[in-house]
Every structure is written in structure tokens, then in C-alpha cells.
């Protein structure tokens, strides 16, 4: 058992849209990620996805709305809901989701991560 310093973990990588595992509990991964630019529109058939913003502003476009998250705010995208995250400037975030969750959901692209790094 060890405590986790999120700032230290986030300082270990620079790539965007590449979540890193920093912990796990009850079949869920706790991941940190950096976002900048736009991510492909997608959905997760069997899993909800939680975005908790630590730094910056994250916009999540839904079919008929847009959610804007500031530092200290989170949003849960229900399973099956199409969404597209955007970050105009660098965002630091925590994702809490089932181990089976693929970062690009139902879409396969060059940024799809089949196997995540643990830091």
C-alpha cells in the first residue's frame, strides 16, 4: 500500500490522450491523463466513463449538448452515450472506469490503446 501523488505521476509523461494507470480498486482502474486538442467521437457500449478535471477546462460534446468541466469538477458519461472530448489548452484529468474500458470505445484509431502503461 502506497499513497499516490497525482502531480508526480502526471510529470512522468507528456503525450496527450494516453491514459496511464495509477491504481485500481473493485475491478476499476484509476487513470491519469493529459488532454489537448480533440478526441474522436465515440461511445462505450458496456461501461460508464468518469472524467474528473484536475487542471484546465475540458469540453465534452454530446449529441445535443456540451458539458464544460473546470478544475475540481467531474462528469460521468453513461454507457452507450456518444461523446467527444475537447481541450483547447492542456488538461490534466483522472479517469475512473472498469478495467475493460478501451479509451476510444467503439472506434479504432491510431490513438487506440489496447494496453495501458502503469506508472
The contacts of residue 90 (CB under 8 Å, 6+ apart) are: 16, 34, 35, 36, 55, 56
49 vs 52 pLDDT, higher one: 52
What is the reported pLDDT for 102? 60
Average pLDDT taken over every residue of the chain: 90
pTM: 0.88
Q: What is the pLDDT of residues 73-102, one digit of tens each?
A: 999 999 999 999 999 999 999 999 888 776
Q: Where are the domains of the chain?
A: 6-102
CB atoms within 10 A of CB 85: 25
Q: Does domain 6-102 match CATH 2.60.120.10?
A: yes
Amino acid at each position: 500500500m502506497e499513497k499516490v501523488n497525482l502531480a508526480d505521476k502526471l510529470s512522468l509523461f507528456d503525450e496527450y490522450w494516453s491514459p496511464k494507470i495509477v491504481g485500481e480498486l473493485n475491478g476499476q482502474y484509476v487513470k491519469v491523463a493529459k488532454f489537448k486538442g480533440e478526441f474522436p467521437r465515440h461511445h462505450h457500449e458496456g461501461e460508464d466513463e468518469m472524467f474528473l478535471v484536475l487542471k484546465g477546462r475540458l469540453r465534452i460534446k454530446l449529441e445535443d449538448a456540451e458539458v464544460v468541466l473546470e478544475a475540481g469538477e467531474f462528469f460521468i458519461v453513461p454507457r452507450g452515450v456518444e461523446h467527444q472530448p475537447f481541450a483547447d489548452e492542456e488538461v490534466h484529468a483522472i479517469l475512473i472506469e472498469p478495467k475493460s474500458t478501451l479509451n476510444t470505445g467503439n472506434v479504432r484509431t491510431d490513438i487506440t490503446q489496447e494496453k495501458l502503461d502503469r506508472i
